[in-house]
Amino acid sequence: MEMPCNTLPSLKADTVFIHAPAFFDFRNRRDIYFPFLGTSGDVPITPLYEYFPVGFKTLQRFLGEQGYDMRIINLSSVLLRFPGICVDTLLQALDTPLIGIDLHWMVHVQGSLALAKKIHEVRPDIKVIFGGISSTYYARELITYPFVDLVMRGYDTHAPMLALLRAMQHGSNLADIPNLLWKDGSGAIRENDFSHKPASYACGIDWSHQPREAQESATIPILEILSTQNAGCAYNCGWCGGSREAFRRVFQRHRTMARKPLEEIDYEFQTMRKLPNVDKYHFYSVGSYNESPPAMRRFLDQVGETNLKSVSYEQFHLTRDDMLKQMAATNKRTIITLSPESHDPVIARLAGRGVYSNQEMEAWVERALGYGIFQIDIWYFIGMPQQGPASVQETVQYCLHLLEKFKGQNVNPMICPMIPFLDPASTFFEYPQDHGYRVFFRTAEEHRQGMERASLINRINYETRWLSREQLVDVGFHAVRSLMEAKAACSVLPRSCVADYNARIDDALQFIPVVHEADNIADPVERARELDLLGDEILRRNNLILFNGVMNQAFPLHRGIGGRWFDEMGWDPQTLQSTLEPARARRTQL
C-alpha cells in the first residue's frame, strides 16, 4: 500500500526518460507471483528487468550536446531500493513537458503501459512518448491507448527526438518529424513517414560517471559497464526478435546492421579511462559477434589500453586463434560467451546455431584456455524446435561432461528456459505452425493482460509441440537445479551457495503449481477468492525476490543494487530516503 511521502525537490528537464518495472506496481501485490528464476539469462536483474535501453545514455549525450537536458529515472530501481516511495509524489516533482517511456523489451508491456496511465492521471499536463524495439513493432496499436500521446519508431531516434524537442519548444507542427506517430488537436492519430533509418548507429556514451552508490553500496557491488557497437544482427535465429528477418520486420529496412562510428567507440573508451576505479569494472561487450575481424581488432586495441578488471565477448562462431591470442593479450580476465543452445546438433541448427560440433567446441575450449582466455561461458536454451524433456536432460548430462573435462579451468555451462516470452517479430512468433510453436498472445494488449496473470505459466506467450507451458517452467527449473548440483559436486560453486539456490528453486517448483491451479479457476469471483487465500504466501515469497539485491545462475550470491550503471534514480539516494517517513526510511536502509 502506497503511503504519502514528503515532497521531492523539483526535477527540471527538457525531457525525462523513465524505465518502468516489468510489472507496475509490484509492491505488496498478493495476486501475482514472481518466482525465483522467473527471468531467463545471466544478467544481474530481478524479474522486474531493471536494465533500460543503452540508447537512453546515447540520447542523453546527444540531446545534451544540442542544449537539451534529458534526465533518466529508473523507476524499477527506485521502487526496489525505496519500496515506500510514493509514485504520485515522484511524478508531482517533475518539471518537464515530455516523459519518454521505453517499451523496448516486450516483457515491460504491463509496467510501461500502467506507468503511462498513471502519468496521465497524475500529470495530464505532461506528454508521454513511447520508444524502443517493441514500441516500433506495436507502434500503431500503442498510439491507440488514450494515455500514449506519441510513439517514436526506430533503432536510432537521436535526430527525430531532437526535432521533436525543438518542435515542442517552438510550438511548431509535428507533421515533419520522421518516425513519429502522434495525435493532432482533435485527437486523430497521425503517422509520419518511417524514414529516418541511418546507416550508422548512435553515438558514444560518456561512461566517466557512474551512479553514486557504485562504490559505497553492498558488500559485493555490481561494477559493470555495457556497450554495444551495433544495432541489428548478421544472423537469423528463428526465436530471436533481433534477428536479421525480425529486424527487417520491425524496422522496415533491408540492411540489417547499423554500426557505431569508430570515433564514437573511441570516445566511449576515452571516457571509460576517466572513470575512477575503472580497474574494478567488468566490461560487457554485447553483440561483438557482429563485428568484422578488422573492426574487432581495432576494438581490442582500445580494450588493451583501458585498465578494466575483466571483459566479456559474445561469439557466434568459434573465435579464430589469432583473435583469441589478441583477446587474451588485451585483458588478463577475458571471458568468452558461446551459445550453442543445444548439445544436439539438429536442435542447435534449428535454433539458428549449430555452426560447430561438440568435438570442435571442446577442442577450441582447450586452445582458448591455452592461449590465456580466462573463462568460457557456454549457454544452452530451453524452448527450441524439436527439444523435448529428454533432450533437455541430455543437454544437462553434456554440461556435466564439460564440467568434469574442464574441472578447475573456468568453463561454465549454463542453461535457461526461454520465458516468459517468445520474442514478438521473431520468425517463430510470426510463423508458429511452421516451426512447431503455438503463440498465445499476439497483440500488445494480449501481452499486457497476459502479464497480469497470477501464475508464471499463464504469463508465458508460447508453447512448442515438444514442451508445454507447464513443462517450460518445470523442465526448465529442474534443468537449472541439476546443473547447479553438478557444479557443487565438481567444486565449481560452493556447496552452501548451491544448497541455498536450489532450496529457492524447490520452493518455486512446489508453489508454482499451487498458484497455477488457483489462477486457472474459470469463475473470476472464485478465482479471486482462492488467490486471496494464497495472498500471504505469495507476498512473502515476492518480498524475497523483489528487494534490494539480485542473484543469478552466473553469480549465485546476493549482491546489492544501487550502483549498477542503469541504477540512475533522478535524485540522489539521500534525497529519496528523506522523502520517506523516518520509520519507513530506516527499514529500507541497506
Out of 423, 463, 519, 530, the only residue in the binding site for ligand B12 (CB under 6 A) is: 423
For residue 321, what are the contacts with CB-CB under 8 A and spacing of at least 6? 367, 371
Out of 87, 181, 214, 231, the only residue in the binding site for ligand B12 (CB under 6 A) is: 231
Out of 11, 43, 295, 505, the only residue in the binding site for ligand B12 (CB under 6 A) is: 43
Residue nearer to ligand B12 on the CB measure, 250 or 483:
250
Confirm or reject binding of residue 156 to ligand B12 (CB under 6 A): yes
Q: How far is the CB of 6 from ligand B12 (least distance, A)?
A: 29
Q: How far is the CB of 433 from ligand B12 (least distance, A)?
A: 21
Backbone angles phi, psi at 182, to 5 degrees: -150, 175
Confirm or reject binding of residue 232 to ligand B12 (CB under 6 A): yes
Residue nearer to ligand B12 on the CB measure, 17 or 380:
17
Residue of 574, 459, 576 whose CA lies nearest to 520 = 459
Q: How far is the CB of 51 from ligand B12 (least distance, A)?
A: 3
Confirm or reject binding of residue 341 to ligand B12 (CB under 6 A): no
Distance CA 481, CA 502 (A): 6
What residue has cell string 557443487?
488
Q: How far is the CB of 329 from ligand B12 (least distance, A)?
A: 26
Residue type, 230: N
Residue nearer to ligand B12 on the CB measure, 40 or 210:
40
Q: How far is the CB of 300 from ligand B12 (least distance, A)?
A: 19
Residue nearer to ligand B12 on the CB measure, 130 or 398:
130
Out of 16, 40, 75, 487, the only residue in the binding site for ligand B12 (CB under 6 A) is: 40
Confirm or reject binding of residue 234 to ligand B12 (CB under 6 A): no
Q: How many CA atoms lie within 13 A of 100 on its CB side?
A: 29
Confirm or reject binding of residue 378 to ligand B12 (CB under 6 A): no
Cα→Cα distances 114→25, 29, 101, 110, 452, Å: 8, 15, 11, 6, 11
Q: According to CB under 6 A, which residues from 64 to 123 bind ligand B12?
A: 100-102, 104-107
For residue 500, what are the contacts with CB-CB under 8 A and spacing of at least 6? 556
**Gap between the terminal Cα atoms of the chain:** 21
Residue nearer to ligand B12 on the CB measure, 45 or 328:
45
Residue nearer to ligand B12 on the CB measure, 230 or 331:
230
What angle do the packed helices 55-65 and 158-170 form, to 10 degrees?
50
Out of 38, 132, 549, 563, the only residue in the binding site for ligand B12 (CB under 6 A) is: 132
Pick the piece of the chain touching ligand B12 (CB under 6 A) from 240-248, 274-282, 317-325, 486-494: 240-248
Q: How far is the CB of 22 from ligand B12 (least distance, A)?
A: 8
Cα→Cα distances 474→37, 514, 552, Å: 11, 13, 18
Distance CA 91, CA 11 (A): 10
Confirm or reject binding of residue 242 to ligand B12 (CB under 6 A): yes
DSSP codes joined into one string, 134-193: HHHHTHHHHTTSTT--EEE-SS--HHHHHHHHHHHHHT--STTSTTEEEE-TT--EEE--
CA dihedral angle for residue 265, residue 178, residue 136, residue 42, rounded to 10 degrees: 10
Spell out, one character per residue from 44 to 63, where the chain touches ligand B12: x when CB under 6 A holds, - when not: -x---xxx-xxx--xx----
Residue 30 in 3-state DSSP? coil
Residue nearer to ligand B12 on the CB measure, 47 or 83:
47
Pick the piece of the chain touching ligand B12 (CB under 6 A) from 227-235, 291-299, 493-501, 573-581: 227-235
Spell out, one character per residue from 276 to 315, where the chain touches ligand B12: x when CB under 6 A holds, - when not: ----------xx----------------------------
Out of 163, 240, 444, 518, the only residue in the binding site for ligand B12 (CB under 6 A) is: 240
DSSP codes joined into one string, 353-373: --SS-HHHHHHHHHHHHHTT-
Confirm or reject binding of residue 20 to ligand B12 (CB under 6 A): no
Out of 63, 226, 348, 350, the only residue in the binding site for ligand B12 (CB under 6 A) is: 226
For residue 243, what are the contacts with CB-CB under 8 A and spacing of at least 6? 233, 235, 236, 237, 352, 426, 427
Residues near ligand B12 (CB under 6 A), total:
46
Taking each continuous run of H as one helix and of E as one strand, the counts in the chain are 23, 21
Confirm or reject binding of residue 265 to ligand B12 (CB under 6 A): no
Q: How far is the CB of 394 from ligand B12 (least distance, A)?
A: 24
Q: How far is the CB of 531 from ligand B12 (least distance, A)?
A: 26
Task: Could you list the beta-strand ranges (E) of 42-144.
Answer: 70-74, 94-95, 98-102, 127-131
Confirm or reject binding of residue 377 to ligand B12 (CB under 6 A): no
Q: According to CB under 6 A, which residues from 184 to 213 bind ligand B12?
A: 202
For residue 427, what are the contacts with CB-CB under 8 A and spacing of at least 6? 236, 238, 239, 243, 245, 246, 435
Out of 157, 179, 192, 271, the only residue in the binding site for ligand B12 (CB under 6 A) is: 157
Instruction: Give me 64's grid cell.
Output: 545534451
**DSSP letter (8 states) at residue 289:** G
**Is the CB of residue 382 less than 8 Å from the CB of residue 418?**
yes
Residue nearer to ligand B12 on the CB measure, 5 or 444:
444
Using CB under 6 A as the criterion, which residues of the chain lie in contact with ligand B12 when the complex forms?
Answer: 17, 39-41, 43, 45, 49-51, 53-55, 58-59, 100-102, 104-107, 129-134, 152, 155-158, 161, 202, 226, 228, 231-233, 240-242, 286-287, 423-424
